[in-house]
Amino acid sequence: MKKSRCFYLTCAYTTFLIFQLLCFPFEASALLSGGALGGDRPRILVTTDTNRLAGASEGGPFEVDDHQSLVRFLLYSDMFDVEGIVHTTAVTKYGLVETVFQILDAYELDYPNLKGWSATYPTPSSLRDVTVQGATWAPRAPSGSRSNAGSQLIVEKANNGDPRPLWILVYGKITDVAQALYDDPTIKEKIRVIGSYQNFTTGGSKQPNDDIKAIEWIQEHHRDLYFIESLETLKSTAFTYSGFTYTDSNQFMEENVRGHGALGNHMWTFRKQDEHGNPVPYTGWLRLGDDPTLNYLLSGDIENPLVDHWGGRFEHANDPERPNYYKDLTPVAEAHASGQKFHSEWLDHFAKRLDRARPLNKLGNSDFQDGTTHWAFSPGTTVAWGKGHNGLSSTKTGKLTLSQGLTPKIEQTIPIDGSVTYTLSGWVKPVSVRNTTVDIWAYWKTPGGEIAKRVNPPLTSGNGAWAYVWQQMTAPQNATELRIAFSAGSGSGEFYVDDWAVVEGSLAPPGGRGVQLLSNGEFTNEMSNWASTGASVEWTTGHFGNSTKAGKLILRPDMYPSFSQTVDVTSEQTYTITAWVKPVGITGTTLKLWAFWQTPSGEVANSISSNFTGSSDGWTYIWNQLTAPLSSTSLRIVIGAGRGTGEAYIDDINVLGP
């Protein structure tokens, strides 16, 4: 007996849904009867072939549609039960499950904002628990030796006793679905598959990147699998058309995606672009290529593929051997029309979902895309075009040009509330700063005058690498304004700033996903596993305000003090490096974190941090993501300083990798 749509909803969730419909009539009017937004709560598992960020010189960017579609999937994840995310066979060598974890890292940063909208958003840890690596080999038919974590998760979730069917959205290859059917053929009655570009029509797949062998195996052994095939319907929303042009695509990304939380920024980073950062023809920056699968379940009767859905309408194949096979409408024009029918409705709805992820950045024009608007620029400063911190596109940034006789400054003043904690973050790039330092200041306006606090230790030198800055500060009591300023003294060099934010609340710093490769990164075991010169371990007040052991460098005019540790790495994999540092009275030199990759042709050096000097008002957080060069076998992490005076503390160093 079929249960009603509300059967699986709790009373609290039903009340929340009614509240949404009453308070947001636009959203209600855009919905069809049924679907996750209409009261159903389907169980969903996604298979994807996301790839790491790669530039046009490498043939990329790859699979931006999977990244964009997974961002949208997560923003709607309060409306259904996420049973799993399986990373399956990738077309290129640039994608494994860590690319999914990077999206979940972004979700974790936005989670405090999202759960304020809906208590049913899954926790980041629960999503990570059901995210696994599926097949990693070239696409091929299933066999007894190819069972893997992905196929096993599908079998587990299909057999978990829930009477609802398990909907499987195939964003990438169908490899692991075929393997799951091989592992346990009985799950066929418990799963329903919606495939993007998985062509089951006569003649097999027309897509060279699909797993044709897996498709042929399902055709031979499980012709009665419940399957909705979205080919032309998918194209109608993956590409621009007369009602949604190239300009519309780019405008949507500019206005509704960029700057909308960590998820929006991830989607912006994985936009469809050429080597110059320009939108590609036919699609523009927006490429939600796999979204008709999710759209089918969001709005419309999920039990009936023959009626309208946000994801289109389908027809029965009328094949006695394939009684549960539904395909695009014919002729092709009807399939396109069905996919485009509700395009503006679901895209407008998605824009509202993106707003949920966006913390309110109190800074205006934080990315300098609107020139000098909201910022005060002194002589020696400008807005300049250059390569952004994402490494791909040419973008606008704030720039200080240092010269003798000038003290360049870029600053902005915003209203704030006293005794409230604020998170300040952004990107900086010092280039050959000499004979002076660049400072990032927070000036809090109070009735008794301004109170100045350093956001970061003074910066100098620099080899042109972007570095991330993150700091939390509590506004003084009775403070009414915050003036954030990037300033330098008389000297030489350049300094760039971009994507700065001042957000109310204690937002977590960016982290990483993976295995900690360093040993004794928190110095609990004194100097164990570390090679050092002029270094020790001492008890001090840590970055959490507690008493803890930390590494300490003593700077001297006759020594280059350092900590270092070497770990094994895998070529062309991405690693996240984090640490906390506190320089104290450093003069005559700088403190810096380096990554040295060992390759057959020698060491390759990458900057992890900026060059710090002087003193900081507290601990400073270091975060960076680096990709191991081709053929590299090990990574040597070095925290060191030149000849000079002063001290530096360091703690909780992490190298996170696969």
Residues 390 and 353 in one domain: no
Residues 308 and 441 in one domain: no
Is-contact 249 285, C-beta < 8 A? yes
Please report whether residue 466 resides in a domain: yes
Of the three residues 471, 504, 537, the one that is the final residue of a domain is: 504
Which two three-digit tokens encode residue 276?
Answer: 């110059």
Of the three residues 310, 328, 357, the one that is the final residue of a domain is: 357
pLDDT at 513: 62
CATH number at residue 329: 3.90.245.10
Residue 212 — left, alpha, or beta (φ > 0 → left; ψ -120 to 50 → alpha)? alpha
Please report whether residue 131 resides in a domain: yes
Please report whether residue 535 resides in a domain: yes
Residues 481 and 582 in one domain: no
Residues 316 and 408 in one domain: no
Residues 82 and 145 in one domain: yes
Length of the chain: 658
Is-contact 394 386, C-beta < 8 A? yes
What's 311's DSSP letter?
T
Residues 203 and 302 in one domain: yes
Strands 574-599 and 611-614: antiparallel
Please report whether residue 246 resides in a domain: yes
CATH number at residue 467: 2.60.120.260
Residue 561: which domain range? 515-657
DSSP states along 58-116:
GT----HHHHHHHHHHHHTGGGSEEEEEEE---SSTT--THHHHHHHHHHHHHHHHHHH
Strands 535-541 and 547-555: antiparallel
Residues 383 and 488 in one domain: yes
Residues 238 and 150 in one domain: yes
Please report whether residue 509 resides in a domain: no
Residues 495 and 520 in one domain: no
Is-contact 610 514, C-beta < 8 A? no
Please report whether residue 370 resides in a domain: no
Other CB atoms within 10 A of residue 554 CB: 14
Residues 536 and 499 in one domain: no
Give the angle 412-416-418 at the CA atoms, nearest 5°.
Answer: 135
Please report whether residue 345 resides in a domain: yes
pLDDT at 231: 83
3-class DSSP assignment, residue 536? strand
Ranges of the chain with pLDDT below 70: 1-30, 53-62, 90-95, 196-210, 238-239, 242, 246, 274-277, 281-283, 390-394, 507-508, 512-513
Please report whether residue 364 resides in a domain: no
Residue 457 — left, alpha, or beta (φ > 0 → left; ψ -120 to 50 → alpha)? beta
Residues 458 and 595 in one domain: no
Alpha carbons within 13 A on the beta-carbon side of 533? 13
Of the three residues 288, 322, 357, the one that is the final residue of a domain is: 357
Q: What is the pTM of this model?
A: 0.60
Residues 526 and 422 in one domain: no
Rounded distance between C-alpha atoms, residue 382 and residue 361, angstroms: 22
Q: How many domains does the chain have?
A: 3
